[in-house]
Amino acid sequence: MESESKGVVVAFRRVPRPGRPGQPTAARLRRAPSDAGGAAAAQASVDDEVNSEWDLLIRLATQAWSWRDPESLDMLEHTVSRLRNWIGHDWAL
């Protein structure tokens, strides 16, 4: 008699734990604009960073929904916190 497969194990990459919300990263510190063109490039860079953070939020939400473990929810919470800081800054202007 053949044994039936009970399921499939899918390996997820571990997402590194994010730093504290609002804490400048080394990449942000290196992007100091030196002129008007640099300011526009820095703004585009920040927009790219925020957009990638939204993408990360969707991936983490999917993983948290699948795994339903405290660590997944912690990573999701940190990502929402960082997004809240960025969005709050944009709306304050």
Q: Mean pLDDT, consecutive 10-residue segments, the chain of 93 residues? A: 64 59 46 59 81 95 94 96 90 80
- Take residue 67 and report the two structure tokens written for it: 């795994």
pLDDT for 91? 86
pLDDT at position 43, please? 73
Residue-level pLDDT at 9: 65
pTM: 0.53
Task: Supply the pLDDT for residue 68.
Answer: 93
What is the spatial distance between Cα 35 and Cα 41, in angstroms, rounded to a whole number? 10
The tokens describing 4, both together, are 């039936």
